[in-house]
């Protein structure tokens, strides 16, 4: 079966920013998927209009209804991070597959317990790390051995403007909310786990972050299991949205970007080749979200393995907590010190 040919019925939890993107993409690109519920305890007219536009059947404040409905075979979690694990466990209890936005949770013990429940229930859980899809061409070049084994991987991400205060309050801090994407990308590109992290973080963009013991600007270095190195830098307000990645190996370098310079290139001593042409910021970003949600349905319908697992979700959170501890204690922190 190709591209969600099987009829799936989904319930979407959270009627905020990210769910809006997902329901629009499902409505436009997965005609065989029925979005039966859009659920939000704070459902308002604007959210209802968003649901109607995407053809959602029922918009409701009832957070139990979809779990009790045997028609629903999967759920999408687009709610604040502290609610994710409980929703995953509820889905396990009634055998529904789950697409969960990053991060998988904000409490390491709860995440581990939830992953045990997922395993016992035997449901499929896919994590939403959309940047894997955005930079798939970079990973492909690495897999094709165009640069050799990556020795140094660099990722930087700059948001155009900080998120609203209400989001900052519940997001768990910059490392688990924003850098978590970049930790996941480093593992994805290097194809191995990160063992040690040194991080610095400051509040330079907006003093609101200080109110929540949070930061808006970070500089992180990591060491991979086999000794390779990685660098991440994040800013919550870089005046324009900008993402760059680079993997350097003994044979060359592969670079990718989204933002003002959108491309993927491979450079070796013989040649410099653009392997993915530039596209608009919105276009390339949304393409990755479309690829991601299509992959979810292909995975739950048994066409491909789950591309991003609960363990990937856990590893990224462990790295985030190691980075936070490194800032607090001003020292390198091993990831296995966490949890
Ligand atoms: N992959 C990405 O690039 C990306 C981008 C944005 C957000 N996210 C992630 O998506 C999640 C949501 O972020 P957002 O920006 O859409 O937040 P948001 O605040 O815009 O929306 C979240 C919504 O969830 C609702 N909600 C809270 N508890 C709920 C529950 N138990 N059941 C149903 N609804 C509930 C809230 O009322 C709110 O309307 C976060 O985990 C965030 O990290 C990922």
| pLDDT on residue 257 | 87
> Whole-angstrom Cα distance, residue 9 to residue 29?
15
67 vs 54, 97, 237, 260, 285, CA distance in Å? 21, 11, 39, 43, 31
Would you say residue 274 has pLDDT above 60?
A: yes
Q: How many angstroms does the Cα of residue 140 sit away from the middle of ligand 1?
A: 30
Would you say residue 5 has pLDDT above 70?
A: no
| pLDDT on residue 235 | 96
Ligand 1 within 6 A of CB of 214: no
The answer to whether the CB of 39 falls within 8 A of the CB of 9 is no
The tens digit of pLDDT for each residue in 279-298 reads 444 445 788 999 999 999 99
Take atom 4 of ligand 1 and give the residue whose Cα is closest: 18
Ligand 1 within 6 A of CB of 96: no
91 vs 96, 120, 276, 314, CA distance in Å? 5, 12, 38, 18
Paired with 39 in beta bridges are 13, 60
The answer to whether the CB of 231 falls within 8 A of the CB of 155 is yes
Site to probe by mutation for ligand 1, drawn from 12, 17, 60 as the one with most ligand atoms within 8 Å of Cβ, is: 17
Q: Work out the pLDDT band at 88, boundaries 50, 70, 90.
A: very high
> Whole-angstrom Cα distance, residue 230 to residue 244?
13
| pLDDT on residue 263 | 78
Site to probe by mutation for ligand 1, drawn from 40, 48, 86, 130 as the one with most ligand atoms within 8 Å of Cβ, is: 40
Segment 170-195 shows an average pLDDT of 96
The tens digit of pLDDT for each residue in 71-87 reads 999 999 999 999 999 99
Ligand 1 within 6 A of CB of 41: yes
Take atom 2 of ligand 1 and give the residue whose Cα is closest: 130
| pLDDT on residue 280 | 43
Ligand 1 within 6 A of CB of 315: no
Q: How many angstroms does the Cα of residue 148 sit away from the middle of ligand 1?
A: 39
Q: Work out the pLDDT band at 1, boundaries 50, 70, 90.
A: very low
| pLDDT on residue 258 | 83
Helix (H) or strand (E) holding 12: strand 8-13
Q: How many angstroms does the Cα of residue 17 sit away from the middle of ligand 1?
A: 7
Averaged pLDDT score across all residues of the chain? 93
The tens digit of pLDDT for each residue in 20-46 reads 999 999 999 999 999 999 999 999 999
Q: How many angstroms does the Cα of residue 40 sit away from the middle of ligand 1?
A: 10
pTM: 0.94
| pLDDT on residue 277 | 61
Give the pairing of strands 217-224 and 229-235: antiparallel
Q: Which strands form 58-60's sheet, in the order they lie side by side? A: 58-60, 33-39, 8-13, 74-77, 97-101, 125-128
Ligand 1 within 6 A of CB of 216: no
């Amino acid at each position: 079966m190709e591209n969600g040919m099987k009829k799936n019925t989904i319930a979407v939890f959270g009627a905020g920013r990210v769910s809006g993107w997902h329901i629009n993409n499902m409505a436009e690109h997965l005609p065989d998927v029925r979005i039966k519920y859009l659920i939000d305890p704070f459902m308002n007219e604007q959210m209802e209009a968003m649901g109607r536009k995407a053809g959602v059947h029922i918009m409701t404040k009832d957070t139990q209804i979809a779990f009790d409905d045997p028609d629903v075979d999967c759920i999408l979690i687009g709610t604040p991070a502290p609610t994710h694990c409980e929703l995953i466990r509820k889905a396990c209890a009634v055998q529904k597959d789950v697409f969960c936005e990053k991060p998988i949770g904000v409490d390491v013990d709860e995440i581990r317990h939830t992953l045990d429940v997922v395993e016992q229930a035997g449901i499929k859980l896919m994590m939403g790390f959309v940047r894997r899809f955005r930079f798939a061409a970079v990973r492909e070049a690495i897999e094709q051995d165009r640069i050799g084994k990556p020795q140094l991987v660099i990722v930087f991400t700059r948001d155009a403007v900080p998120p609203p205060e209400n989001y900052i309050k519940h997001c768990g801090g910059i490392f688990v909310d924003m850098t978590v994407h970049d930790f996941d990308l480093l593992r994805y590109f290097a194809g191995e786990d990160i063992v040690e992290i040194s991080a610095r973080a400051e509040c330079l963009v907006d003093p609101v972050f200080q109110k929540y013991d949070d930061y808006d600007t970070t500089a992180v270095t990591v060491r991979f299991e086999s000794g390779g190195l990685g660098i991440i830098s994040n800013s919550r307000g870089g005046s324009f949205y900008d993402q760059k990645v680079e993997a350097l190996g003994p044979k060359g370098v592969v670079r990718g970007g989204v933002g003002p310079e959108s491309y993927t290139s491979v450079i070796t001593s013989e040649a410099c080749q653009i392997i993915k042409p530039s596209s608009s910021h919105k276009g390339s970003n949304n393409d990755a979200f479309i690829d991601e949600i299509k992959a979810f349905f292909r995975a739950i319908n048994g066409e491909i393995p789950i591309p991003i697992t609960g363990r990937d979700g856990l590893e990224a959170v462990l790295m985030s907590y190691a980075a936070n501890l490194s800032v607090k204690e001003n020292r390198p922190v091993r990831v296995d010190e966490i949890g």
